[in-house]
C-alpha cells in the first residue's frame, strides 16, 4: 500500500481541516512526523487505520468511539484517505461523524469506499478494506502501520498465534490440507458404502444362473412356435366369416338410412325454392334501400350544419359592427396623440433638470465640508511627526547601552555546557563506584564457595565424568539384573509339551533355577536416583558459578570503560574552562552573567516596545496621508460632478420643443413627475386601444366573408341532395313493379327473414350427394352378396375357438418375452456388477492412500512446518540488520518450539529469552523483524514499492544507536521501500530529508507543517 493523501477535520486535536500530501513525503523514501507529546502525531496513523478498517488501538466500539474521537469544539469529523493498493489500483476511504444538535454526546458515523475508474470516483459496496489491502487489521498493524505499544507484538506472539498470522500473510492455508483430505476420505467412504449397498442386490447374479435361464427360453420357444402355427390356420377361417358378416350388416343399415333420406328430400326441396327467392330480392333491393337511408341521413346532417353556420355568421356580423363603432369613437384621440407625446418628452426633460438642480445643491454642501476635513488632517500629521521623532531619539539612546546578543548567547551556552560536564562527571563517578561495589560483592560470594576461578571448569568436568561413569556402571548392573529376572519368569512358565518362548523347543530337560533379584534392582535404581540428584545439584552449582564469573567479567569490562569515560569528561572540563574568553564576565561567577543577561533582556524589551510604538505612529502617519490624498481627490471629483450636471441641464433646456424651463424651475419635482406619469398612461392607453381595434377589424373582415361563403355553399349542397333523393325514389318504384311488390314494406318483410343463402345451398348440395352415394352403395352390395349366405350360430362357434387359441398364443408369447427380457436384464446387470466390483477395488486402494495422507496432514502439522520455514527465513533476514545494530553482539533464532530466543555472543553464545532484552535492544530486534516481515509481504505482492510506518522506540536509543538505526532506515531507499517514523527525538529530525512538524494551537487545534 502506498499513501497518496490524508485529510483530517474535527478528529481528536485536529479542529480545523488539515491535509497531508504523502506524495511529497514518499518521493524522499524516508520521512518523519515530529512534534511535542500530545500534539497529534499518532492521531495521523489512527486516522489511516480507522478510515480503512473502522478500528483504532486507543478506542473500541464499546468506548463510545465516535463521540470520543470527535474534537469537542467540532460538530463534524471527517477523514479522507487516498492510497494505491498492491494491484496498483487507486482507492479512497472516507469516514464521517456528525453530532446530534439536540444531544451533544450522540454522534453518528458513516463510511464509504471509492475506486478511481475512468477518471471518476466509483462507490464500492463494501466498507472494509481487508480484501483491497490484502491484510486484516491485526496484521496491517504488524506489517505496515505499527502503532504505539504494538511494536513488539509480533516478537512476543505465541507459536499458535504467530502461525495463524503467517498463514494469513503468506497464504499458507494452501498447505492446510487436513480438511480437504477429510472431505476426500468422507467422500470415498460414502462412495464405498454406496457401492457395497448396490452390490448387495447383485448377489444371485452369476454366469451359471444366466445359462440355466437361456435353456428355459429355448424350450419355451419351441412351444410358442407350435401354438402359433395352429392359430394362423384358424385365423384365416375366422377373418373370412367376419368379412361376410360385416357386409350383410352394412347392407341392412344402408337400406334403413335410404328410407329416412327419402322423407327428408321433401323438406330440402322447399328450402331450396325459398332460398333462391330471397337471394334474388336481396341482390336487387338491398343496394336501393341502403342508398335511400344514406341520402336521408346526409340531408338531415346538412340541414343541421346549415343552422349552425348561420348562427356563427350572425355572431361575426355583430362583432364586426361593434368594432367599427369603437374605432369611430377613438379616432379624434388618436389624431392628437403625436402632440401629447412631444409634451410627454418635454416634461421628462424638465423632471431630469429639476433632479440635476437638487444634485448641484448637495455637491456644493459636500465640497464645503470636505475642505474643512482636509485642514483637520493636515494638523493631525504635524502632531504625528513630533511623536515619531521623540520615540526614535529614546530608542537610539537605549541601543547604545545594550550588549551584543551573540556574546550573551555564546556565554550562556558555555555555562550550560559547563553545568552539563559537572553533572556528567558526578554521574560517571557514581557509575565507577557502582561497578567496583558489584565486583567486590561477586568476589565475596566466590570466596564463600571456595573455588579456584582458573581451574573450576576442569574440576567440574572431572567431577561430572566421575559421576557419569558411576551412572553407567549402575545402568549396566541394572540391565543384567533385569535380564536375569525375565529369564526367571520364563523358567517358571515352562511345561513339557509347550513351546519355549525363546527357542521354540517342546522339551525342557535341564531348567535353570534363578534367585529373586527384585531387591537388588530396587537398590540399584535408588543409587541411580541419588546420582542424578547429585549430578543436577553439581550442574546447578556450576551454572551459578559460571554466571557469577560472567557477571564479574562484564562489570570489570564496564569498570574499565566507565573510568575511560570519566577521564575523558575531566579532559573536556579542562578544555572547556580554557575556552572561556569573555573579559566582561567571570567563569566562576555565573550569577553575575545571569544578572546582566536579565538586564539585557529588559533593555531589548524596552527597545522592542519603542520600535513597536514608532511603527504604529508611522503607520498612523501613512494612514493620515492616505486619508488626505483621498479627501483632496474627493473634492476634485465633486467639482467635476457639479460642472457635468450644469452641462446636462443646459443640454436638456435646448432640447425642449413646446414647454419653457423658466415656467417649471421653481415647481415641485414630485408634482411634475405625477403629471408626467398620468400623461404617459393616457398616451399609452390611446395608442394600445386604437391598435387593438384596428387589428380586430382586420381579423374580422376576412372571417365575415368566409362565413358568408360557407352558408351559400351549404344551401347549394342541400338542393343537390334533394334532387338525388327524387331520382332514387323513381328507381325503387321501378324495382317494386318488376317484382310485383305493392310497397317497400313487402320487400323488407322478406329481407328480415335473414336467410343464409350460402349455408343453405351447401346444405342442399351435401344432401343430394349423400342421397346419390347411398343409392349406388346399396346397388353394389346387393350385387356382391347375391350368391352368399351367413349362419350366425356357426360364426359364434368359430369366434369362440379363435379367441381361445388367440389367448393361448398371447400367453405363450408373453411368457417367452418375459424370459428373454429377464436374460437381457441379467446380462446387463452382470456387466454392471463387474463395473461396480472394479470401482469398489479402486475405492479401497484410494482409502489406503487417503489414510496415509490423513496421518501426514493431521492437526495442521504441515502448515506449522511451512510456517517454521518462513519464520526461519524471517530470522535470517532480520539478523542482517540486527547484527549491524547490536555491533554483532546479539542474534535472533528459533528454538524447537518455534519461539524466538536471543543468542548472546558476549556470553559465549548462550541463549536467553527475548523478554530479557532492554528497551533499546527490544526496539532494535522488533524493527529488524518488522522490516524483514514487510519485505516478505512485499515480495509476495504485485506492487513495485511498499510502505512501512513506525510510531515508537527511538527514545530508547543512545546517540550512536540512533545513528545506526537511521543508517538502516536510510538504506531502505535503495531497496525501493518507503519508511515513515513518528518521534520527538531531535537528532532524527535533523537527519530527515523531509518531515512534517505537528504543533498544537490553543484556538485552532493541531496544525501540520511540511519541513
Distance CA 930, CA 928 (A): 6
Dig out the grid coordinates for 154 from the structure: 509480533
Task: Kindly report the number of other CB atoms within 10 A of residue 52's CB atom.
Answer: 28
Taking 70 as the pLDDT cut, the residues of the chain under it are 142, 146-154, 159, 168-169, 171, 173, 479, 482-484, 486-515, 856-861, 937-945, 951-962, 964, 972-975
| Nearest Cα residue to 966 out of 951, 981, 949 | 981
What is the rounded CA–CA span in Å between residue 750 and residue 1001?
114
Residue 984: its H or E element: none
Cell of 63: 468506548
3-class DSSP state of 34: strand
**And the C-alpha cell for 969?**
532506515
The three grid cell numbers given for residue 761, joined into one nine-digit string: 345451398
pLDDT at 504: 47
Confidence (pLDDT) at 713: 85
Neighbours of 92 (CB within 10 A): 20
Neighbours of 40 (CB within 10 A): 24
Say which residues have a Cβ less than 8 Å from residue 464's Cβ, sequence separation at least 6: 535, 538, 539
Cell numbers representing residue 400 in the block? 547604545
Q: How much is the pLDDT for 18? A: 92
Q: Which residue has the cell 463510545?
A: 64
| 401 Cβ contact list (under 8 Å, min separation 6) | 603
Q: How confident is the model at residue 376, as a pLDDT?
A: 77
Q: Distance between CA 43 and CA 49 in Å, rounded?
A: 10
- What pLDDT score was predicted for residue 82? 95
pLDDT at 500: 52
As given in the structure block, the three cell numbers for residue 755 are 336467410
> pLDDT by residue (tens digit) across 325-375?
887 887 777 777 777 777 777 778 777 777 777 777 777 777 777 777 777
Q: Residue 552 — φ and ψ, nearest 5°?
A: -65, -40
**pLDDT of the residue at 502:** 45
Query: The C-alpha cell of 375 is what?
Result: 485642514
pLDDT digits (tens, 9 = 90+) for 643-679: 777 777 777 777 777 777 777 777 777 887 788 788 7
Confidence at residue 122, expressed as pLDDT on a 0 to 100 scale:
93
Amino acid at each position: 500500500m502506498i499513501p497518496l493523501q490524508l485529510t483530517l477535520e474535527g478528529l481528536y486535536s485536529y479542529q480545523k481541516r488539515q491535509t497531508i500530501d504523502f506524495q511529497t513525503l514518499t518521493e524522499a523514501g524516508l520521512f518523519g512526523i515530529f512534534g511535542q507529546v500530545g500534539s497529534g502525531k499518532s492521531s495521523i496513523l489512527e486516522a489511516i487505520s480507522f478510515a480503512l478498517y473502522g478500528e483504532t488501538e486507543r478506542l473500541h466500539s464499546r468506548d463510545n468511539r465516535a463521540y470520543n474521537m470527535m474534537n469537542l469544539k467540532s460538530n463534524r469529523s471527517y477523514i479522507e484517505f487516498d492510497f494505491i493498493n498492491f494491484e496498483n489500483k487507486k482507492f479512497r476511504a472516507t469516514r464521517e461523524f456528525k453530532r446530534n444538535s439536540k444531544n451533544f454526546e450522540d454522534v453518528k458515523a458513516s463510511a464509504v469506499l471509492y475506486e478511481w475508474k475512468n477518471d471518476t470516483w466509483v462507490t464500492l459496496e463494501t466498507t472494509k478494506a481487508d480484501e483491497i489491502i490484502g491484510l486484516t487489521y491485526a496484521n496491517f498493524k504488524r506489517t505496515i502501520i505499527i502503532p504505539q505499544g504494538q511494536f513488539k507484538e509480533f516478537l512476543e506472539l505465541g507459536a499458535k498465534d504467530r502461525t495463524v498470522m503467517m498463514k494469513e500473510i503468506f497464504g499458507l492455508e494452501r498447505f492446510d490440507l487436513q480438511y480437504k483430505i477429510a472431505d476426500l476420505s468422507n467422500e470415498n467412504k460414502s462412495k464405498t458404502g454406496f457401492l457395497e449397498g448396490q452390490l448387495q442386490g447383485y448377489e444371485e447374479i452369476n454366469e451359471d444362473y444366466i445359462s440355466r435361464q437361456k435353456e428355459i427360453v429355448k424350450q419355451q420357444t419351441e412351444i410358442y412356435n407350435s401354438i402359433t402355427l395352429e392359430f394362423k390356420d384358424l385365423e384365416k377361417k375366422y377373418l373370412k366369416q367376419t368379412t361376410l358378416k360385416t357386409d350383410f350388416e352394412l347392407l341392412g343399415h344402408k337400406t334403413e338410412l335410404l328410407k329416412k333420406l327419402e322423407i327428408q328430400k321433401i323438406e330440402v326441396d322447399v328450402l331450396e325454392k325459398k332460398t333462391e327467392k330471397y337471394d334474388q330480392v336481396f341482390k336487387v333491393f338491398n343496394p336501393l334501400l341502403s342508398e335511400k337511408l344514406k341520402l336521408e341521413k346526409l340531408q338531415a346532417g346538412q340541414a343541421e350544419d346549415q343552422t349552425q353556420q348561420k348562427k356563427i355568421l350572425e355572431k361575426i356580423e355583430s362583432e364586426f359592427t361593434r368594432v367599427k363603432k369603437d374605432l369611430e369613437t377613438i379616432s379624434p384621440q388618436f389624431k392628437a396623440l403625436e402632440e401629447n407625446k412631444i409634451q410627454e418628452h418635454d416634461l421628462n426633460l424638465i423632471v431630469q433638470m429639476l433632479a440635476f438642480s437638487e444634485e448641484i445643491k448637495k455637491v456644493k454642501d459636500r465640497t464645503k465640508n470636505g475642505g474643512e476635513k482636509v485642514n483637520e488632517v493636515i494638523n493631525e500629521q504635524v502632531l504625528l511627526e513630533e511623536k515619531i521623532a521623540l520615540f526614535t531619539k529614546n530608542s537610539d539612546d537605549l541601543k547604545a547601552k545594550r550588549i551584543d546578543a551573540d556574546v550573551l548567547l555564546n556565554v550562556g551556552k558555555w555555562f550550560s555546557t559547563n553545568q552539563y560536564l559537572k553533572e556528567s562527571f558526578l554521574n560517571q563517578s557514581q557509575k565507577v563506584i557502582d561497578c567496583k561495589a558489584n565486583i567486590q560483592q561477586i568476589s565475596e560470594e566466590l570466596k564463600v564457595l571456595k573455588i579456584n576461578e582458573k581451574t573450576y571448569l576442569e574440576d567440574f568436568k572431572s567431577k561430572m565424568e566421575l559421576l557419569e561413569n558411576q551412572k553407567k556402571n549402575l545402568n549396566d548392573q541394572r540391565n543384567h539384573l533385569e535380564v536375569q529376572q525375565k529369564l526367571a519368569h520364563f523358567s517358571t512358565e515352562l511345561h513339557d509339551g509347550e513351546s519355549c518362548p525363546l527357542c521354540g523347543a517342546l522339551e525342557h530337560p535341564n531348567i535353570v533355577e534363578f534367585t529373586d533379584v527384585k531387591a537388588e534392582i530396587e537398590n540399584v535404581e535408588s543409587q541411580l536416583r541419588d546420582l542424578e540428584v547429585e549430578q543436577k545439584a553439581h550442574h546447578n552449582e556450576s551454572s551459578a558459578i559460571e554466571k557469577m564469573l560472567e557477571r564479574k567479567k562484564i562489570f570489570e569490562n564496564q569498570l574499565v570503560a566507565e573510568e575511560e569515560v570519566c577521564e575523558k569528561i575531566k579532559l573536556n572540563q579542562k578544555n572547556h574552562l580554557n575556552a572561556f574568553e569573555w573579559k566582561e564576565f567571570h567563569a566562576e561567577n555565573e550569577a553575575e552573567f545571569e544578572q546582566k543577561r536579565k538586564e539585557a533582556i529588559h533593555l531589548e524589551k524596552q527597545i522592542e516596545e519603542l520600535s513597536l510604538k514608532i511603527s504604529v505612529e508611522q503607520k498612523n502617519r501613512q494612514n493620515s496621508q492616505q486619508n488626505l490624498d483621498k479627501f483632496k481627490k474627493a473634492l476634485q471629483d465633486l467639482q467635476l460632478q457639479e460642472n457635468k450636471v450644469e452641462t446636462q441641464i443646459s443640454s436638456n433646456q435646448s432640447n425642449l420643443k413646446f414647454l419653457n424651463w423658466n415656467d417649471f424651475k421653481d415647481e415641485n419635482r414630485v408634482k411634475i413627475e405625477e403629471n408626467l406619469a398620468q400623461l404617459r398612461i393616457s398616451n399609452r392607453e390611446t395608442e394600445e386601444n386604437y391598435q387593438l381595434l384596428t387589428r380586430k377589424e382586420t381579423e374580422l373582415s376576412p372571417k365575415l366573408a368566409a362565413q358568408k361563403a360557407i352558408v351559400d355553399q351549404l344551401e347549394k349542397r342541400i338542393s343537390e341532395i334533394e334532387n338525388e333523393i327524387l331520382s332514387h325514389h323513381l328507381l325503387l318504384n321501378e324495382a317494386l313493379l318488376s317484382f310485383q311488390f305493392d310497397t317497400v314494406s313487402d320487400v323488407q318483410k322478406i329481407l328480415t327473414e335473414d336467410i343464409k343463402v350460402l349455408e343453405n345451398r351447401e346444405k342442399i348440395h351435401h344432401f343430394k350427394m349423400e342421397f346419390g352415394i347411398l343409392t349406388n352403395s346399396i346397388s353394389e352390395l346387393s350385387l356382391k352378396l347375391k350368391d352368399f349366405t351367413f349362419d350366425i350360430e356357426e360364426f359364434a362357434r368359430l369366434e369362440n375357438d379363435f379367441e381361445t387359441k388367440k389367448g393361448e398364443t398371447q400367453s405363450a408369447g408373453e411368457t417367452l418375452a418375459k424370459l428373454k427380457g429377464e436374460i437381457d436384464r441379467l446380462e446387463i446387470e452382470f456387466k454392471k456388477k463387474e463395473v461396480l466390483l472394479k470401482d469398489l477395488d479402486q475405492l479401497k486402494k484410494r482409502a489406503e492412500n487417503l489414510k496415509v495422507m490423513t496421518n501426514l496432514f493431521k492437526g495442521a502439522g504441515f502448515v506449522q512446518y511451512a510456517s517454521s520455514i518462513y519464520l526461519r527465513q524471517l530470522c535470517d533476514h532480520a539478523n542482517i540488520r540486527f547484527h549491524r545494530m547490536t555491533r554483532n553482539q546479539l542474534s535472533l533464532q528459533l528454538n524447537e518450539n518455534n519461539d524466538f530466543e536471543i543468542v548472546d555472543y558476549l556470553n559465549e553464545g548462550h541463549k536467553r529469552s527475548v523478554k530479557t532484552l532492554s528497551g533499546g535492544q527490544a526496539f532494535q530486534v522488533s524493527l529488524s523483524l518488522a522490516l524483514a516481515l514487510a519485505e516478505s509481504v512485499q515480495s509476495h505482492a504485485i506492487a513495485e514499492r511498499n510502505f512501512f510506518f513506525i510510531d515508537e522506540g527511538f527514545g530508547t536509543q543512545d546517540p550512536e544507536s540512533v545513528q545506526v538505526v537511521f543508517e538502516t532506515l536510510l538504506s531502505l531507499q535503495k531497496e525501493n521501500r518507503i519508511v515513515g517514523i513518528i518521534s520527538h527525538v531531535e537528532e532524527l529530525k535533523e537527519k530527515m530529508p523531509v518531515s512534517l512538524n505537528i504543533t498544537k494551537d490553543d484556538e485552532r487545534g493541531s496544525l501540520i507543517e511540511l519541513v
